[in-house]
Structure 1
Amino acid sequence: MRNKGFTLIELLVVISIIALLSSVALSSLNAARAKGRYATIIRQMKEIQTASHGYYTDTGSHAADTGPGGAPAFVPAYLRSWPTPPCGAGWTYDWDNWTSSNGFVGVHLHNTTLGAQYKLCTDTTSACSASSVQDILTVAQRSITCQ
């Protein structure tokens, strides 16, 4: 009489195939999340840039430098609220106005442990290259892993 059921080998093969497929799916999911995070950061930084341009047009000067997480003078008149990056705890945007030192005016994606990680220049006439931080628009894979 033949047993009706699966052998141990058959079960192991099926389980290993399921594990392989789920690891591929998880890898794709993480890549999609990183790309989504990048898109959100770009959108938020460009909103800050647009608000700072409006402030500059109306006042003739850039908003003063604030510490990481601090909202500059153009909030809330030109930007409803200071955004929070989609990176979790320890990450914030930092508005910088270094016109008196090296000419950089813009926003940094800042980590409390690592410091400034990415930048987006606001004043295109200033020395944007004065900041040695990588420009957010030049990130190769168009994805960011917040570590």
Structure 2
Amino acid sequence: MTSILPPQDLTPWNEEQKQEAAQKLSPEARRILLNQGTEPPFCGGLLDNKEEGLYHCGLCELPLFSSEHKFESGSGWPSFYQPLDRDFLHYVRDTSAGMIRTEIRCARCDGHLGHVFDDGPRPTGERYCLNSVALVFYKAT
């Protein structure tokens, strides 16, 4: 399902744009996307999704990940070994859980998506561990 994406507008959103888009979200999605929350493992709606398509930011709908790069990590969260484009993500040092991790946020709206770890499969060795409610899935047509 290799897809060529049209150019994406990565102009950072202002607070008004974020709050307007957040009105469509569930309280849980707002908690995760806007306040760096985490959903419990093994409960997210996209964990077992095997359909072909693209995973978009749940707040601004920027396309972020492809089903081609999804894998079963056993972690309890949807996992990918690479994003569609690294420029679509911000990487932030996170020491909030008593360890050093790398948080990933959407480059356009700054919504919290999850974390990336260096224990993934080839070819990247990365594991992008995401919250299902931080994403919207669009099935390939």
Structure with the largest fraction of strand: 2
Structure with the largest fraction of helix: 1
Higher relative contact order (CA 8 A, sep 6+): 2
What band does the TM-score fall into relative to the shorter chain?
under 0.3
TM-score, normalisation: structure 2? 0.26
